[in-house]
Structure 1
Amino acid sequence: MPVIVLEAKDFTSPLFLMRTCAVLSSCTAFSLVASQQSVLEPESNTFRVFCMFTWCFFFILTLLIHILSIIQFHSLIPISWKNLVITVAVLGGLMSFSASVLFPWNVMDRQKVTPRCVAAAVASCLTVLAYASESCVLCIQPHEQRGYMGSTPGLLKILQLWGGCQMIPLIVDVAHGLHGVHAWQLWASGASYSVCVLLSFVTLVVILGDLAGRCLLPFDRFLAGFSLIGVLLYMLATVICFTKILQLRNPGQSSPKIGELFIMETVVSSVTLLAYTVDLAFSIKQLCDRSHM
């Protein structure tokens, strides 16, 4: 089978240039950080690993998508290509944004700034801009070209997955010595985030694999059930987050870093709860519309 490559004009298209920028900037970010010794405090290595994983993981994914788009082999992959590219672009932008915030917060705020750290932070910000631009281009395409993940419910599910992924380093860092938090709070919030992340991955796999027709029940009912579970669990997690913040008023339990961690967890949890709530409203509306048909 002959290999088909893009025409010369396609190499100057916005998508090609944006993906090239995302690949180069993410590669630059993790290369600069990996080429120097860790300047972070031992308890902050969780965020360094998170940032490195984010840059490396989406660098590999975007590079593979870039190569497959050039040689036009994506039609041979047994997944929904249009849903894959929009998912990687949007989720890559959100995750890179988190890395662009967490990395300077852990390095530069501790007065351990080096030229490589500054360059890595700038490269990470460029990665965010590249993914954001690619996401905008993909989202303005017709519905048939951008797929389900490019619609409002699909984007909400990407936001839900991003929120769950942000909780992983936060919970791990808080669990390091149980900084000002009770064990039951840690287990309850951790279990809530884990279940929601698992449900988000299952939903993503079903959509990318075009497996919705093989479900035992109509897929829209599964989505509504998943959204309802997410709303309930994130309501619990958000209440626990606000409880942690109130506990900071107690003498001897507050410190600048712990307060910042709790505030970040509360903000992300609230945003994710909002995404689940809106997604549940969309799912209920879709079920009601079908019942009247």
Structure 2
Amino acid sequence: MPGIVLEARDFASPLFLVRSCEVLFSCTTFSLVTALESSELTKNPLHLQHLPTIKIFCIFTWCFFFTVTLLIHFLSTIQFHSLLPVSWKNLTATVAVLGSLMCLSASVFFPWLIMERQKAWPRPVAATVTSVLTFLAYVSESYVLCSQVQEQKGFMGSLPGLLKIVQLWGGFQVIPLFVEADHGLYNGFHRWQPWVSGMSYGVCILMSLVTMVVILGEFAGRCRLRFDRLMVVFTIIGFLLYMVATVICFNKPLQLINSENKSSELVIMEAVVAFITLLSYTVDLTFSIKILCDRSHT
């Protein structure tokens, strides 16, 4: 029966320290953001027209990873994580790497789209600083976990697992960009493009979530199909869908991209995120095919 661990060496371990920093910084960040007065956020509505979606995305990121990290921190301290029906090493690596990517996005979104061309307000500046510190804390935990030996870090700490996390991040990241960039972009013209892009993003997110659930729940042995081949199929589908979505992103109206409309910046960001995710699918597909070929020759 696991018991509570209160030894001093456990409180001085690198993982304990970085997780404590993650909890502290993320809590401070979303507390500062939610405490912002509405008058401070409406001084220049022309440049804050995309505030609601981006603000919700940032606050959700900080709140979600604060909650998950606090739970992981608590269970790890009292040594009750062995009772959970999940792969603990894969779960911690996933939360650390995904948390670093999502907090990086929030740290870029918040000052760029909210504080752009505004005077320095104390609370938004402080929130940006603590968000960056949260990102650095998750990067530190990711480094500690991924630098362990393969048996300790699990699949999600390896290169193929990291690529899966990048794909999941790309799906989560591109949704608010897609929603805001598409708003008023076509005005009824070429409406098939956002439908195709939205469907592509949605299918890829669903496949990434299924993959994560199977890996974290260690359900691979219960699948009727071979899970490695199923992941190859998912990777091929994701590669093709993101290729289509990336082409659509780079072919959106050029006059909008060259204008001062905030949608032009979001279109560029959507294209960049889609391209990064496409690149991760490309590398993942190469590794998956190589592994299958090596197994077929043995």
With normalisation by structure 1, the TM-score equals: 0.95
Give, in angstroms, the shift of residue 179 of structure 1: 6.0
Structure 2 Cα separation of the partners of residues 43 and 144 of structure 1: 45
**Counterpart of 1:261 in structure 2: which amino acid?**
L
In structure 2, the CA distance between the partners of 1:99 and 1:145, relative to structure 1 (3 Å rule), is same
1:259 matched to which residue of 2? 264
Give, in angstroms, the shift of residue 254 of structure 1: 3.5
Structure 2 Cα separation of the partners of residues 281 and 233 of structure 1: 17
**Counterpart of 1:275 in structure 2: which amino acid?**
S
Structure 2 Cα separation of the partners of residues 174 and 292 of structure 1: 47
Moved beyond 4 Å, runs of 4+: none
1:192 matched to which residue of 2? 200
The answer to whether 1:46 aligns with 2:53 is: yes
Instruction: Work out whether residues 179 and 258 of structure 1, in 8 Å CA contact, stay in contact via their aligned partners in 2.
Output: no
Structure 2 Cα separation of the partners of residues 291 and 70 of structure 1: 44
**Counterpart of 1:71 in structure 2: which amino acid?**
I
1:149 matched to which residue of 2? 156
Residue pairs, 1:164-203, within 5 angstroms: 164-178=171-185, 182-203=190-211
In structure 2, the CA distance between the partners of 1:117 and 1:287, relative to structure 1 (3 Å rule), is same
1:138 matched to which residue of 2? 145
1:93 matched to which residue of 2? 100
Q: Which consecutive residues of structure 2, in runs of 5 or more, have no partner in the other structure?
A: 43-47
Residue pairs, 1:1-293, within 5 angstroms: 1=1, 3-38=3-38, 39=41, 41-111=48-118, 113-178=120-185, 182-244=190-252, 247-249=253-255, 254-293=259-298
Structure 2 Cα separation of the partners of residues 75 and 179 of structure 1: 52
**Counterpart of 1:13 in structure 2: which amino acid?**
S
CA RMSD of superposed structures (Å): 1.7
Instruction: Work out whether residues 6 and 72 of structure 1, in 8 Å CA contact, stay in contact via their aligned partners in 2.
Output: no
SS for the counterpart of 1:261 is helix
Structure 2 Cα separation of the partners of residues 46 and 72 of structure 1: 38
Count of aligned residue pairs for this structure pair: 290
Structure 1 Cα separation of the partners of residues 233 and 240 of structure 2: 11
In structure 2, the CA distance between the partners of 1:175 and 1:262, relative to structure 1 (3 Å rule), is closer
SS for the counterpart of 2:63 is helix
Give, in angstroms, the shift of residue 250 of structure 1: 6.9
Q: Deviations over 1:196-222 (max 9, x none)?
A: 000000000000000001111111101
2:45 matched to which residue of 1? none
**Counterpart of 1:248 in structure 2: which amino acid?**
L
In structure 2, the CA distance between the partners of 1:126 and 1:179, relative to structure 1 (3 Å rule), is farther
Give the percent of matched residue pairs that are identical in Structure 1 and Structure 2.
Answer: 64
Give, in angstroms, the shift of residue 112 of structure 1: 5.0
Give, in angstroms, the shift of residue 10 of structure 1: 1.1
